[in-house]
Chains A and B, each alone.
Chain A
């Protein structure tokens, strides 16, 4: 304010300043309120409803009133028990009974899980998976075997895609960080899949992965001069999820290339000059200059890929619908299956809550890793 104005306003200044403050406060709220209301209504309230529904038996449309059921949904989701099975032995000889293929036979799990009063702890559980150690079969039973598989698949997906997408992204960034001819064209090409919808990518790659006329099989056949036996990549439980991992990395890696590139460009050139003077080779420069300079970028890349990986849904819905044999089902796919397709809002919400806890843990890990920044 200029001096002349101050002198003129001396009398009324406290009042006008108060008015100003009040009107600024009011304007602030008014301007922010549409955003606040929309966030509240379509994010914060649904978020709390997810928690509330997860303790009920809410369905999308139901003739019966909704009831609180406590932890029932979570019990069904998370119960895992081990059942020890010994081979069936012949009563007379005491020798194990072998089946036609010469393998041991085991008592049927159904005998433990269906209304067996001797084993109340196994009642209603489903077969998830088993391990054989010696003659003994260790059977894992779960309240919801498909959900357990989806949990394992989701972590499997995350564990493999983090190094793949993060690592390839870094290699791409290092390649195009050099200021040489044509680098911009390569950057454009590597980035292109990022702007293509995951739905489009999934359908395109369904064709590439096709077991009969698939592009990948044909290419591999040509490259190996016909020595390659075609694989039904998405139809085989052992290759379906790896195939989806590779495709997802192909689509997303350009994004992280740009993030790595932004990180690389914050590293001062003088550090490299100093390393040159010390006679460092390329690998040493990477190890002692580049990598330490990328620490925060690396954390960001790790966190974003993990979050994306946990949310794995579109590819599964388009390409495999969770199959074959539940080998590609995921947490979010199950949440949508239960909450939407089976209209079991409560159970779908419970899965969403488990999913949120997974995401929250990653966010907490991020905070822990970046804690020194706050000091």
Chain B
């Protein structure tokens, strides 16, 4: 074999492998979206041929209408958007503010605080879920009905425990430490307060790290599952992932299920496809600590 044909063979086999792998990763998701437009019976019939992945047959939006009829889907989506955005807004603010203090100011106890925060890295949420359930079920709430005990079945029980996490703080600390210190020193001499420095100098130049933190934290929040099944029983406050339970009661209608799955997944996929570069860099940067 000549050198040239050898290279060609290598390239061909590499592309064949890549295409095969791409099929494995893409086809299940394609199947989900395509099936969401097909009647339940047709989904079952088509699943024995390549038609499963093709938009053929009786296509309609009926599954979507039925899904919205069967369950308060709009409510679930609203709940998830609310919980995700409020947690993100508060979380990015408090985490970056703490990280700014840890990275740029000098204060007593700073070292020990940073050490403790980094130590909490290795405590997975699953470890504390059960005792946390106990704690939040006893915490006081001031609501429309006055003072009461227990945070179960609320929005704040889904938000407050997740505002701050060690990983986000760490991400910000790393970034702020890499900024030139002259920036801060100059502002100090001009008489700016520390909060002004944070808000007017640090935040404006930290777009990339805010984006990274928002993506990683946002994905976690949108996909919340274990915690809401523990603390939210009333449908009024249920997030999207827990709302899925509705579609398995009584008869399992696969068409509606595929429609619901698509509704809660496609926005994230579109967001990912449009912000791909930031997404991928976020993930890559999360590996830096290793």
Contacts and interface: CB of A to CB of B under 8 A. Distances in A.
A297 B221 CA distance: 27
B60 to A, nearest CB: 20
Nearest to B272: A195
Interface in B88-120: 94-95, 97-98, 100-102, 105-110, 113, 116-117, 120
A303 B276 contact: no
B160 A38 contact: yes
Please report whether the interface of chain B is mostly helix, strand, loop or mixed according to DSSP. Answer: helix
Nearest to B48: A218
B59 interface: no
A31 interface: yes
Nearest to B24: A250
A279 B39 CA distance: 60
A46 B132 contact: yes
A46 B131 contact: yes
Given A31-B97, A38-B94, A53-B130, 4 more contacts: A196-B269, A355-B127, A356-B123, A359-B127
A307 interface: yes
B284 A49 contact: no
A301 B268 CA distance: 25
A31 B272 contact: no
Given A340-B133, A349-B130, A262 B223 contact: no
A336 to B, nearest CB: 7
Interface in A27-68: 27-29, 31-32, 34-36, 38-39, 42-47, 49-50, 53, 58, 60
A311 B123 CA distance: 11
B1 interface: no
Interface in B13-28: 14-15, 17-18, 21-22, 24-26, 28
Interface string B247-287: 00000001001000100110011011100100110011011
Contact of A311 (B14, B124, B163): B124
Interface string B117-154: 10010111011111111110100000000000000000
B57 to A, nearest CB: 16
Interface in A268-324: 296-297, 299-301, 303-304, 307, 310-311, 313-314, 317
Interface of A: 1, 21, 24-29, 31-32, 34-36, 38-39, 42-47, 49-50, 53, 58, 60, 172, 175-176, 178, 180, 182, 186-200, 203-205, 207-208, 213-215, 218, 221-222, 250, 254-255, 258-259, 261-263, 296-297, 299-301, 303-304, 307, 310-311, 313-314, 317, 332, 335-336, 338-340, 345, 348-349, 351-353, 355-356, 359-360, 363
Nearest to A40: B116
B164 A34 contact: yes
A335 B126 contact: yes
